Structure 1
Amino acid sequence: MQKEPSIAAVAAIIIAILLLGYFAAEPIAKSINLGLDLRGGLRVVLEAQETEGKAVTEDTINKALGILRTRVDSLGVKETTLYPQGDNRVVIEIAGEDDPEAAVDILKNVAQLEFQDETGKVWVTGENLKNAEARMDRSGTGNAEVLLEFDKTGARLFADATLANVGKPLLIVIDDEVISAPNVNEPINDGSAVISGHFTAEEANNLAVQLRSGALPVSFSVMEKRSVGPTLGADSLDKSLKAGIIGLIAVLLFMLGYYRLPGLIADLSLVIYLVLVLGVMSILGAVLTLPGIAGLALSIGMAVDANVVTYERIKEELRFGKTLGAAIEAGFKRAFWAIFDSNLTTLIAAGVLMYFGTGPIKGFAVTLSIGIIASVFLVLTFTRYMLILFSNITKNPKLYGVEGGAADANN
């Protein structure tokens, strides 16, 4: 490759990288999801309560998680994380919600629906419910109501219940609380019913979501509740960004001052690295937390370390008297397994944390894993390609960090 084409290629690449960093920064910052500790919100630990004949098992917790996720999706609660903790607990983390306490109350309610007569006999339950929809009361009161639709078995049971209770009240009970007790005027055979009780539109919709998603297999009590205000979250994010920027500038200056041209390449690769890691996190919908920022900082250090190992090997080869091109090839060959082994062991540890960890620990592991893969990819592709381009522009050993090396600058 000739000198002039190499200069043009290097100039074009540098400009492209700087433009990439400039134009990608704002879209990535807007699209990446911030965790509870950075955005503010509520973290609640719920503990399943054992009752007679209903032991809490792993299957019970998994079913509860499935129902809770259905409720989250139906309610449209933003940035909610659900995961099990231990054998009998569920953690709910809600970030960016205007009223997270109300959201948690809606999510944790059992929502066990029963139709009872005056004697307390249960005729139909929510297990036979096919659908539940909120609508405005057609009588013009301005209240909302919930329209119920039963499956075939439920329609038959409800018909039997209304037939046996003509002229009597039929109690609609949710979680042992009587919502309404309408009088039955005639048997209802179409498999539908209406729950009315002076609901607002939002209350009716929340109740419909709970009933539609099904009753939780067990009841839950709040064991821990921790709230992070949006101001505190913003302060944590601001301090983290300032610390990260200062640290990054220090690394960039050190690499440029100590390794010179290879240091410039390392600085450029870090720009690509940050865009790549944060872009992948944004695409995957990963949540960035304070531990995640720590994982990002650690992976940046490992990315720099991979460049340092490679450059030191190249400097050794130059001191042995090899030409620059031969030193680059030999340096990468010698550095490869050291880089691969160190990053692989860290990736395995991150994988273990990702599999067994929850919440912040998992966020740390995800960020670290993405960073490790990106750093190895860049050092083996971009760094190598740029070193070859620069070697066609100048072969002066001093520009590669070797003072008084034996390599011939003109080779």
Structure 2
Amino acid sequence: MLTFPRWKKLFILLVCLGGILTALPNFLTEEQRSELPAMMPSDTLSLGLDLQGGVHLLLEAETDDVVDTKLKNLAEQVRDIRKSVAHLNFRNIRISGTSVTFEVTRDEYIERAREELLPITQTTTGGVNPLLGGGVQEVTLEREGRKFTLNLTPEGINVQKRDAVARAMEVIRRRVDPNGTREITVQREGDDRIVLQVPGEDDPEALKRIIQTAAKLTFHDVVTDLSQQDMQRGRLGAGVSLLPLKEGGMIAIRDRVIVDGADLTNAQPSFDQNGRPAVSFTFNTSGARKFGNHTRANIGRPFAIALDEVVISAPTIQSAILGGSGIITGAGDVTETQELATLLKAGALPIPLEVLEQRTVGPDLGADSIAAGEWAAVIGFVGVIIFMTVSYGLFGIAANIALVVNLILIMGALSLFGATLTLPGIAGIVLTIGMAVDANVLVFERIREEQNAGAKPFTAMEQGYGQAFSTIMDANITTFIAAALLYVLGSGPVQGFAVTLGVGIVTSIFTAVVLTRFFLASWVTRARPEKLPI
């Protein structure tokens, strides 16, 4: 336990040096940071909205689009039934208000049509398990002669709107804070409004662009048998639309979506074979199957890649693409492709958002409260150092040095992650400092007990660290699991607390179990004391 080969010493030195270098920019001015060498880290900790202010946006969700989308999906389901069931034909499929109406062409197929349409009305929503009863019925079916009507229920519409706002909030969170370290606040206000607070944000326009871009990615079959004259006169046929090309002009595509962005599992900026900026993407199993089946059946035909109703690429299928991955070209320069990759990875915005209010806010706590908090932290830290020095002498001094290094490592790690520091984050740091001191106390008390029982200094230290190690690891592992669950299940300030707590646990184990032991082992090896000063 007290032997440190050369590679261990080198590892300890590199970790401490890395922590100092990553934490150093926090103590420099912006001008000094700009003069640092390119290889040096320059990221710093950002203060949260409660400490330094930031951008406050009030967004309104245009939930009427949810009804339109639902009605279009119902009409598409009716067309699917018409295509899949032999001899069953519907005509005059129309959307009117909150209903979809259509007619059966022959009386003898009325009952068959009702049987095929009935499953559409059995969808329940509202987070209730249909098998347990309850829930909200979204769609009802009415018949008058040959005419059928699928109606959206008011309750179903309300649930759909609430669900769309909730999904929009989650997309916003993933776009603005993909790593969960900025401690943003995203909360609902009323039925269709969202409050977004981003601490330390200094570019509201870029923030609004990221938030308001729909990023709806869809793949469509291209219609190649329409003449320019038909396209100009709008004679497109059922299920066909004209979409603008990004480089100019129009292209006819089939409305049916082959696969969409909901099936994406990853998207990242890259370059094509010619060195042009592009976005590479990967589908999930379902998306890969649909994409593979379409490309296999349509070799030699073009297909369109549309982003927010604009076709950014329309390549010809050269061979079946069965791997579930591909590349999007024509999305713009490097900056645009990076932004597109972020948007696609976060997911499409389910509903449009309008900015109702934008303002830059100051710290919630005020200078006096912040100063009081700083003094409290300093006094507490000094108190811990005095207590450890008085209680354990030289051993306490070694623990205090390790404690200072622990703070530097935490600051460096959080700076490297681009984390935002708020009061919950500070609470996490304070808690980890306490755990680091607690680990040293456990070890030192064990060493003291062994020495009082007659053990030699070297043996007492071996036994002290050996017996306390399992207790320290058990306590820290269980706390780390709790921090991981808080990060996964929580959001905003809760995630910030979890990040600082998790990082602090890792650094505390290093400083308490490794660094302090290295200091003390080096001293015992050189000084060879007859009795430990503890």
Q: TM (normalized to structure 2)? A: 0.46
Q: Could you give the per-residue CA deviations for residues 151-176 of structure 1, whole angstroms, max 9, x where no partner exists?
A: 6649xxxxxxxxxxxxxxxxxxxxxx
Unaligned runs of 5+ in 2: 1-8, 28-42, 71-156, 217-240, 255-308, 311-339
Aligned to 1:277: 410
Deviation string for 1:101-136 (max 9, x for gaps)? 995599458799xxxxxxxxxxxxx994554xxxxx
- Structure 1 residue ranges without an equivalent (≥5): 1-9, 74-78, 113-125, 132-146, 155-190, 193-208, 401-411
* SS of the residue 2:441 aligns to: helix
Alignment of 1:367-406 (within 5 A): 367-392=500-525, 393-395=527-529, 397=531, 399-400=533-534
Please state how far the C-alpha of 1:383 moved relative to its aligned partner.
1.6
Note closer, same or farther for the CA distance 1:127–1:339 as it changes in structure 2 (3 Å cut): farther
Q: Which residue of 2 aligns with 1:301?
A: 434
1:242 to 363, 375, 386: 375
Amino acid at match of 2:196: I
Confirm or deny: 8 A CA contact 1:129 1:150 kept in the other structure: yes
Instruction: Give the aligned residue type for 1:380.
Output: V
Instruction: Please report the RMSD computed on the Cα atoms of aligned residues, expressed in angstroms.
Output: 5.0
- Whether 1:38 aligns to 2:45 is no
Q: Distance in 1 between matches of 2:355 and 2:45?
A: 30
CA change 1:369–1:67 in 2 (3 A) is closer
Cα contact 1:45–1:92 (8 A) shared by 2: yes
Q: Is the 2:245–2:251 contact (alpha carbons within 8 Å) kept by the matching residues of 1?
A: yes
The one-character-per-residue Cα deviations of 1:35-94 (angstroms, maximum 9, x if unpaired) are: 222220244575756433472476875567557877x69xxxxx7947687998865322
Question: Is 1:95 equivalent to 2:95 in the alignment?
Answer: no
Q: Is the 8 A contact 1:350 1:366 kept in 2?
A: yes
1:254 equivalent to 2:413? Answer no
2:58 and 2:356 in contact (8 A); partners too: yes
Deviations 1:286-340 (A, max 9, x none): 2211110110011000011000001000000000000011011111111112111
Indicate yes or no: 2:399 matched with 1:266: yes
Q: Which residue is 1:311 aligned to?
A: 444
**Alignment partner of 2:196: what SS?**
strand
State which drifts further: 340-349 or 39-48. 39-48
**Structure 1 residue 95 displacement after superposition:** 2.6
In the alignment, the residues of structure 1 paired with residue 459 and residue 443 of structure 2 have an alpha-carbon distance, to the nearest angstrom, of 14
Q: 1:56 to 1:391 in 2, by over 3 A?
A: same
8 Å contact 2:244–2:251 — kept in the other structure?
yes
Relative distance call for 1:27 and 1:257 in structure 2 (3 A) is: same
- The match for 1:289 is 422
- The 1:83/1:253 distance shift into structure 2, 3 A limit, reads same
Q: Tell me the amino acid that sits aligned with residue 273 of structure 1.
A: N
Q: Secondary structure at the match of 1:322?
A: coil
> Secondary structure in 2 aligned to 1:94?
strand
SS at match of 2:377: helix
User: Which runs of structure 2 are paired with 1:141-156 in the superposition (5 Å)?
Assistant: 153=253
Structure 1 residues 341, 216: CA separation in 2 closer, same or farther (over 3 Å shift)? closer
More helix by share: 1
Within the alignment, does 1:335 sit opposite 2:468 as a pair? yes
Choose 81-90 or 350-359, whichever is displaced more: 81-90
Tell me the SS of whatever aligns to 1:92. strand
CA contact (8 A) 2:427 2:497 kept: yes
Pair 64,231 (structure 1): closer, same or farther in 2 beyond 3 Å: closer
TM-score, length basis structure 1: 0.59
Distance in structure 1 (CA, Å) of the matches to 2:214 and 2:17: 53
Matched-pair contact (CA < 8 Å) for 1:42–1:101:
no
Mapped partners of 1:371, 1:237: distance in 2:
22
Give the AA of the match of 1:38. L
